[in-house]
Amino acid sequence: MMFTDLIDERASEGLVRHCLGLVPRHLPLVVAMSDSEVVEAADSIPVSVQDLYRQGVASEILTRREQLLAKLSSAGVMVLDASPERLSVGVVEQYLHVKKRALL
């Protein structure tokens, strides 16, 4: 289980490579905590040019993050993407999912 935040492909390159190397012998779980400020900026309605740029950057960050999570997931890495408020509950739910399905 690795707790991290996936920002972009370059910054997360080592983590992704390491996780992909663990599959299929191990069952890695990448727990990514989402940044509520970035999500809010991407979902906001811009009222100024600066807000428009902020929204564009936030949307780009979220898109790259989703691509990294999808890459990990499609390679067999378990992924949990949760807000800080849901992080503990999400980890316990993933653990119960693994135990219920006898994945280990």
Tokens of 9: 């492909």
Q: Is 0.95 topped by the overall pTM?
A: no
Listed in order, strand segments (DSSP E) in 10-57 are: 29-33
The H or E element that residue 18 is part of is helix 13-22
Q: Is pLDDT at 10 greater than 90 in this prediction? A: no
Amino acid at 21: G
Distance, CA of 57 to CA of 7 (rounded, Å):
12
Domain that holds residue 41: 2-100
pLDDT in tens, 16-33: 889 989 998 999 999 999
Could you tell me the pLDDT band of residue 51, with boundaries at 50, 70 and 90? very high
Inter-residue contact 87 to 31 (CB < 8 Å): yes
Inter-residue contact 27 to 104 (CB < 8 Å): yes
Q: Domains in the chain: how many in total? A: 1
Q: Is pLDDT at 42 greater than 80 in this prediction? A: yes
Q: Across the chain, how many H-helices and E-strands are there?
A: 4, 3
Identify which of 5, 12, 1, 15 has the alpha carbon closest to the alpha carbon of residue 104: 1
